[in-house]
Amino acid sequence: MTIAVALRTRLLGLTALCLSALVPAQADPFVFTAIPDQDERHLTERFGKIADYLTDKLGVEVQYIPVKSYPAAVSAFRNDQVQLAWFGGLTGVQARELVPGSEAIAQGKEDTTFVSYIIAHHSTGLTESEQLPAELAGTRFTFGDKGSTSGRLMPEFFLRQHFGQAPEQLFSRVGFSGDHNRTISLVQSGAFEVGAVNYAVWDAEKAKGNIDDSKVGVIWSTPSYPDYQWSIRGDVNARFGDGFKEKVQQALLEMTDPALLAAFPRSGFVKATNADYAPIRDTAVAIGIMDPAQ
């Protein structure tokens, strides 16, 4: 190699080094998920636009990834596959206990006083009342997902409280549909006579004309409890910069576009803390879903 070629090669190398120093390294995307409380098509429609909104607000690439089950959402949070998640009350408690330092940072305005509906096929003869009817005993009953707060945990708690029996003792058959839309379909078809469903999903499906009032209706509404919330891992500031957690929280609280809020559906978001969900943990322990020492 001649001296001229050697010098030219060194200069090209130095130029490339200087240019690379001017181009910032591509930051990791900020990833979130949500419990699959509806079918995947609904979820993708709901959260794709939320990812775009957060990308604009946070100044980093934000991605939404779907998961197949409630436990998968908790595992993704635990394994740092996602840094933010839209959890139900129970899954949020479970996830935060597995990831020290993680926090509930926002909840829907409606989530401070959430309720579940008990719905029944009209063949049962059951109608809406203020008390759980004794005629529920012996029916075929479906919950939603086993990890659902509104589709399993709280309805089961109130059923046990009222009847003094576990569901397996109270009903002739107990099922777990997997999500709220499926619960509605199963009861509406008569495959199960009675079921527990998230009131917000029921109201949204009714508004869309997807519920046949001649076949299925609400017979009871639970007392209120805290439910869905956004939970964030405790290490996000270290990964995305000081104050990032607060920026995420502020972006959620400032979400006012009705089209975005309809994806949840919520009228807006308010601040939340881990302490808000102590009643959910206590209930899960009381009916044996969580270990007291967990």
Before 265, cis peptide (omega within 30)?
yes
Above 80 in pLDDT, residue 40? no
What is the DSSP code (8-state) at residue 242? T
**Quick one: what percent of the chain has pLDDT higher than 70?**
88
**Would you say 163 and 186 are in contact if contact means Cβ atoms under 8 Å apart?**
no
- pLDDT score at 86: 96
User: 30-112+226-286 maps to which CATH number?
Assistant: 3.40.190.10
Above 50 in pLDDT, residue 59? yes
Cα separation, 287 vs 185, in Å, equals: 27
Q: Within 150-264, where are the H helices?
A: 154-163, 167-170, 180-189, 199-207, 236-240, 244-253, 258-261
* pLDDT category of residue 292 using cuts at 50, 70 and 90: confident
Nearest to 53 by CA among 264, 239, 213: 264
Between 36-50, 88-102, 230-244, 248-262, the lowest mean confidence (pLDDT) is in 36-50
Tell me the domain boundaries of the chain.
Answer: 30-112+226-286, 115-221
* pLDDT tens by residue, 167-204: 999 999 999 999 999 999 999 999 999 999 999 999 99
CATH of range 115-221; options 3.40.190.10, 3.40.50.620, 1.10.10.10, 2.60.40.1930: 3.40.190.10
* pLDDT category of residue 264 using cuts at 50, 70 and 90: confident
Cα separation, 281 vs 154, in Å, equals: 11
Q: What's at 173, amino acid-wise?
A: R
* pLDDT tens by residue, 77-124: 999 999 999 999 999 999 999 999 999 999 999 999 999 999 999 999
Domain 30-112+226-286 and domain 115-221 have a common topology: yes
Mean pLDDT of all residues belonging to the chain: 89
